[in-house]
Amino acid sequence: MAKQCHPRVPLLRSMSNGVRWCSLAIAGVLPHGRSPVAVVSSSSPPPRQALAGMVSRTLVSPLEVIATLNMCSPTPPLVSAAAKKLGATAAASAAAAATPAAAAASPSTLSQLQTLFAKEGVRGFYKGNGANCLKVAPTKGIQFLVFEFLKRRILAARTAPAAAPVAATAGGAGAVRPPLSPSSPPPPPPPPPPSPITALERLLAGGAAGMVAASLCYPLEVAKTLLTAHPEAYSSVGGTIVGVVRAKGPRALYRGLSPTLVAMFPYVGLEFMVYEQLKLAYTARIAAQQAAAGRPVDGGRPQAEVVSVAAMLLMGAVAGTIAQTVCHPLDVVRKRLQLQGIGGRPEVYRSMVGAGVGIVRGEGLGGLYKGLRPCYWSVLPSAAVSYLVYERAKVVMGLTSAR
């Protein structure tokens, strides 16, 4: 077990508070008339729904470690060895010859896991997992909560203009209406239901939710990256955060935030959009089949109960894979920025654009996709489980999602 995962009272308290805070936030919406504080204070023991995210992250932690190490590696291993033996001047010529060889002999994920185990043992598989567990519950909870809130605001903005003229004509919602005489005109028809939320609106709402969650939980992301890349220097989540603040100041906890926000907008937006569009298409097909068979559409059940568990897992995995593929280069850039000036790494990049250009110049376009392969194996189960928990939590709590 990694050092930062060793049982400590402050760590367990933080995890418990994060889990309890997410008991309703992970469902995306709150029951009407209840504040988040009231909901959390009345929640019973930490729910399995919130713990599921932590369990999924722990299960895929070895793959996340490999992905992070690949993304944070600025040069191929053969070039690094040449630099140590020959010096900076001669290493330039060695780099030209070594880079193609390193690219051709790119180790597989399995071989990298074997190497990591041989060097660091089981502990190496869980570097940074404590910070990841602390981060995943509030991050996912905030994302779902803000996403559902924004969707409801979009629908409310469409409904309000249509409902206002009707209320004015009818004398208001609470007005006492006299009985209609045969000669009086018929009452105005009720306003039509708002049109469904478009794919673009889902993308924008999801992107905004991702940026809000990333801003609030970013120090934990920095701690996770440092614990993974430099376990010899940092041993716990709290110690990492305190050490960074003492050495570099509080601003160091937000180094790389700009590319993170830029990455989170399309990443979370695409993930939510793809998942919900797939779910809408799937439920529409089920409804058509039920209507053709003469059965009530959805059988009166919530949408999440109509969709099978296997379908939810598949749709979540597809959504996470698409989002990871599109946004992986920005993930590489932000991790490089996070590690600048730490562990003997030089401070080379001054901006997100400069980091991206520097990586392409020094390592080619492939440098922006380092660690993508293990990321796939990590994202597939974690995204699938997250959306399954999201939907099941809404069913258990009797909540519905804005469509």
Mean pLDDT of the residues in the chain: 73
What is the pLDDT at residue 53? Answer: 65
Measured distance CA(324)–CA(142) in Å, rounded = 20
Of 30-34, 37-41, 110-114, 357-361, where does mean pLDDT reach its minimum?
37-41
For residue 157, is it left (φ>0), alpha (ψ between -120 and 50) or beta?
alpha
Measured distance CA(59)–CA(384) in Å, rounded = 13
What is the pLDDT at residue 161? Answer: 57
Q: How many other C-beta atoms are found inside a 10 Å radius of the C-beta of residue 142?
A: 22
What is the average pLDDT across 113-117? 86
pTM above 0.85, yes or no: no
* Residue 102 covered by a domain: yes
Measured distance CA(172)–CA(53) in Å, rounded = 47
Considering its fold, how many domains does the chain have in total? Answer: 1
Structure tokens at 71: 């993304």
Q: Which of 272, 49, 38 is nearest to 148 (CA)?
A: 272
What is the pLDDT at residue 381? Answer: 82
Torsion of CA 377, 381, 386, 388, to 10 degrees: 150
Helix, strand, or coil here: 181?
A: coil
What is the average pLDDT across 46-51? 48
* Residue 164 covered by a domain: no
Structure tokens at 83: 């630099």
Q: Which of 213, 96, 97 is nearest to 145 (CA)?
A: 213
* Residue 18 covered by a domain: yes
For residue 73, is it left (φ>0), alpha (ψ between -120 and 50) or beta?
beta
What is the pLDDT at residue 398? Answer: 67
Q: What is the CA radius of gyration of the chain?
A: 25
Using a 10 angstrom Cβ sphere, with 0-12 exposed, 13-18 middle and 19 or more buried, the burial of residue 245 is middle
What is the domain-level CATH number for residue 284? 1.50.40.10
Q: How many other C-beta atoms are found inside a 10 Å radius of the C-beta of residue 81?
A: 14
* Residue 268 covered by a domain: yes
* Residue 172 covered by a domain: no
Q: 3-state SS string over 125-154?
A: HHCCHHHHHHHHHHHHHHHHHHHHHHHHHH
Higher pLDDT, 74 or 309: 309
Measured distance CA(161)–CA(163) in Å, rounded = 6
pLDDT greater than 50 at residue 376: yes
Measured distance CA(60)–CA(375) in Å, rounded = 10
* Residue 283 covered by a domain: yes
What is the pLDDT at residue 205? Answer: 95
User: Is there a contact between 137 and 25 (Cβ–Cβ < 8 Å)?
Assistant: no
Measured distance CA(116)–CA(129) in Å, rounded = 15
* Residue 341 covered by a domain: yes
The length of the chain is 403
Q: Which residue bears the tokens 């193609």?
A: 100
What is the average pLDDT across 350-379? 87
Q: Give the CB-side neighbour count of residue 222, counting CA atoms within 13 A.
A: 28
* Residue 163 covered by a domain: no
Instruction: Quote the domain boundaries for residue 216.
Output: 3-37+44-157+195-396
